[in-house]
Homo-oligomer: A and B are copies of this chain.
């Protein structure tokens, strides 16, 4: 599987896993090098400095998010099912008690470059816009029910999922995430 990937992608895969485990300031080029099986100087060839690496990580993450929700949109027209599948994106890292890239970068925000901060905000904006659109569609369908604006509701859902990941991680208990996620879904019907 990984044999098909070039070195840049292997570096990004490894770096992303490390960010999700220990945060952007918790790992070094040496950690990546050891896992990939190369030397630190080789990483600097692909990503001259750690800031470049951070930018590449969030850019790829955003791109993959766009592709994922586009696939959800093509595979189902059911708003509740869309939200269910959106929530599933967040549930994957919980099994390893890791937190998704965007939550970790939010925490590390103060130590990141302005470029990474802007892209992170852009990623969240894309999340909120997609969820808000699905909520509005579902409400006009009569399938989804919630108080207040779809904008506020989208914020609540995103925030709850982020917090749910942190709680699951702190308790080393994936059920804490599932519990919250299920409740979010059932509250919409």
Contact = CB atoms under 8 A, between A and B. Distances in A.
A183 to B, nearest CB: 5
Contacts of A148: 183, 186
Interface string A4-25: 0000000000000000011101
Contacts of A170: 106, 109, 117, 120-121, 124
Q: Is the interface of A mostly helix, strand, loop or mixed?
A: helix
Contact of A179 (B124, B155, B169): B155
Contacts of A26: 25, 108, 110-111
A166 interface: yes
A158 B169 CA distance: 14
A18 B28 CA distance: 21
Interface string A25-41: 11000000000000000
Interface residues of A, number: 43
Residue in A147, A164, A166 with the greatest tally of chain B CB atoms within 10 Å? A166
Interface of A: 21-23, 25-26, 99, 103-104, 106-111, 117, 120-121, 124, 147-148, 152-153, 155-156, 158-164, 166-167, 169-171, 176, 179-180, 183-184, 186-187
